[in-house]
């Protein structure tokens, strides 16, 4: 992942955060249980964790992302209540440290294996890919005007490919066929293809690529997922929460976890009004959507589709999404 893309996303997030006063950072974010102060602290600590992983890859001296999951959670909770100016400066300074560590990386260091907090080991290039995802997705979570439609098209397209492939491997996800109305692409299952086949099946990616390449992950992984998972695990942010608050950044939460109907963002539960799926939703065998039986066809812009799959939208601007139950992803 090029540093220029990470820097551009960081500048945009800082431009939003610079407008916050102390009251604004105490307000709820889109993540249940987290204020904007929690989100900003998390973004800063994620940068420091990535810096430590890159330093390990460059020097060969072990430098773990976080000392432990408990320490990670404690740092976020401790930092969340700071004044707005201190929170923003922390995000800015930690991003600068990450950029400096990135600039020091020789080409061969990007392929060296380092270990994330969960114990999973991957090439260091994933730390750069993860950083871009963290900044872009959590900018949306600040709930301050930046939306999924503001995500760069290249990021949205790659992330959508990966998320669709991840859902296709999960037994608790509906069989999805997605139609991107803005690009003309179709992804996911079809009547002629078995579950698990994504539209970009023929594309291969190499985890050992340098960050200057567009891809640093496998076909079936979403950007930002930094930990090993089983075929039925969700991609995305990655680390289990140490205190029950907010999402992690590197390890998917349990697949059985669901959110209540009144939680935001991205209600993943069946509607409580007794209504069935939308008229435009196609089901292959009459089973309810989300049960893994019939084919569910959903159409809309790529950014809207990705936001829905990642729990940042209820899918009101999509055709065929009403009543569809999705497992927790990110």
- pLDDT at site 242: 38
Query: Which tokens belong to 262?
Result: 């009144």
Q: Give the lowest-confidence range in 59-68, 83-92, 247-256.
A: 247-256
Query: pLDDT digits over 6-37, tens only?
Result: 999 999 999 999 999 999 999 999 999 999 99
Query: Which tokens belong to 238?
Result: 């990655």
Res. 75: pLDDT tops 90: yes
User: Across 84-88, 235-239, 287-291, which has the greatest mean pLDDT?
Assistant: 84-88
Greater model confidence, 84 or 201: 84
Query: Which tokens belong to 164?
Result: 């669709």
**Coil, helix or strand at residue 319:** strand
Res. 246: pLDDT tops 90: no
Determine contact, residues 313/147, Cβ cutoff 8 Å. Answer: no
Greater model confidence, 265 or 80: 80
Query: pLDDT digits over 260-278, tens only?
Result: 333 333 333 333 333 333 3
- pLDDT at site 293: 56
Res. 233: pLDDT tops 60: no
The average pLDDT across 310-326 equals: 92
- pLDDT at site 269: 36
Res. 86: pLDDT tops 70: yes
- pLDDT at site 240: 35
What is the chain's mean pLDDT, rounded?
A: 76
CA distance 131 to 255: 23
Instruction: For residue 43, give every residue at least 6 positions away whose Cβ sits within 8 Å of its Cβ, in sequence order, or none.
Output: 13, 91, 94, 134, 135, 138
CA distance 307 to 315: 8
Write the DSSP string, 163-203.
HHHHHHT-TTS-EEEEEETTT--EEE-BTTB-TT--TTTT-
Compute φ and ψ for 215, nearest 5 degrees.
-125, 135
Query: pLDDT digits over 96-147, tens only?
Result: 999 999 999 999 999 999 998 878 889 999 999 989 999 999 999 999 999 9
Nearest to 130 by CA among 230, 248, 32: 248
Burial class (CB in 10 A: 0-12, 13-18, 19+), 260: exposed
- pLDDT at site 27: 98
What ranges do the domains of the chain cover? 3-124
Res. 5: pLDDT tops 70: yes
Res. 258: pLDDT tops 80: no
Residue with tokens 């963002």: 265
Predicted TM-score of the model (pTM):
0.71
- pLDDT at site 1: 72
Query: Which tokens belong to 150?
Result: 């503001």
Res. 80: pLDDT tops 90: yes
Angle between the N-to-C axes of helices 84-103 and 36-59, in degrees from 0 to 180, rounded to the nearest 10: 20
Cβ atoms within 10 A of the Cβ of 120, count?
17
Query: pLDDT digits over 207-220, tens only?
Result: 333 333 333 333 33
Q: Span 3-124: which CATH code?
A: 1.20.120.450
CA distance 276 to 299: 18
Greater model confidence, 190 or 205: 190
Res. 287: pLDDT tops 90: no
Strand ranges in the chain using DSSP code E only, listed in sequence order: 113-115, 121-123, 175-180, 186-188, 295-300
Res. 302: pLDDT tops 70: yes
């Amino acid at each position: 992942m090029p540093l220029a893309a990470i820097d551009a996303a960081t500048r945009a997030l800082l431009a939003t955060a610079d407008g916050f006063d102390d009251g604004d950072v105490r307000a709820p974010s889109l993540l249940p249980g987290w204020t904007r102060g929690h989100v900003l602290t998390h973004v800063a600590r994620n940068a420091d964790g990535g810096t430590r992983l890159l330093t390990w890859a460059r020097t060969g001296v072990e430098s773990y992302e976080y000392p432990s999951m408990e320490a990670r959670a404690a740092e976020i909770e401790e930092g969340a209540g700071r004044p707005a100016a201190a929170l923003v400066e922390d995000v800015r300074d930690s991003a600068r440290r990450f950029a400096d560590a990135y600039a020091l990386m020789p080409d061969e260091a990007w392929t060296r294996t380092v270990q994330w907090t969960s114990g999973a080991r991957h090439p260091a290039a994933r730390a750069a890919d993860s950083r871009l995802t963290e900044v872009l997705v959590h900018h949306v979570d600040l709930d301050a005007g930046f939306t999924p439609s503001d995500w760069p098209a290249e990021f949205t397209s790659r992330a959508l490919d990966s998320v669709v492939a991840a859902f296709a491997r999960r037994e608790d996800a509906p069989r999805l066929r997605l139609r991107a109305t803005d690009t003309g692409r179709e992804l996911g299952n079809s009547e002629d293809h078995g579950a698990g086949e994504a539209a970009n099946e023929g594309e291969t990616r190499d985890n050992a690529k340098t960050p200057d390449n567009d891809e640093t992950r496998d076909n079936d992984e979403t950007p930002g997922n930094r930990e090993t998972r089983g075929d039925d695990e969700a991609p995305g942010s990655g680390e289990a929460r140490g205190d029950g608050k907010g999402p992690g950044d590197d390890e998917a939460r349990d697949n059985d976890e669901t959110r209540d109907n009144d939680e935001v963002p991205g209600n993943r539960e069946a509607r409580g009004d007794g209504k069935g799926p939308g008229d435009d939703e196609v089901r292959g065998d009459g089973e309810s959507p989300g049960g893994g039986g019939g084919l569910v066809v959903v159409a809309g812009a790529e950014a809207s589709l990705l936001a829905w799959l990642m729990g940042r939208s209820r899918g009101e601007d999509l055709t065929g999404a009403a009543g569809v139950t999705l497992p927790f992803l990110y």
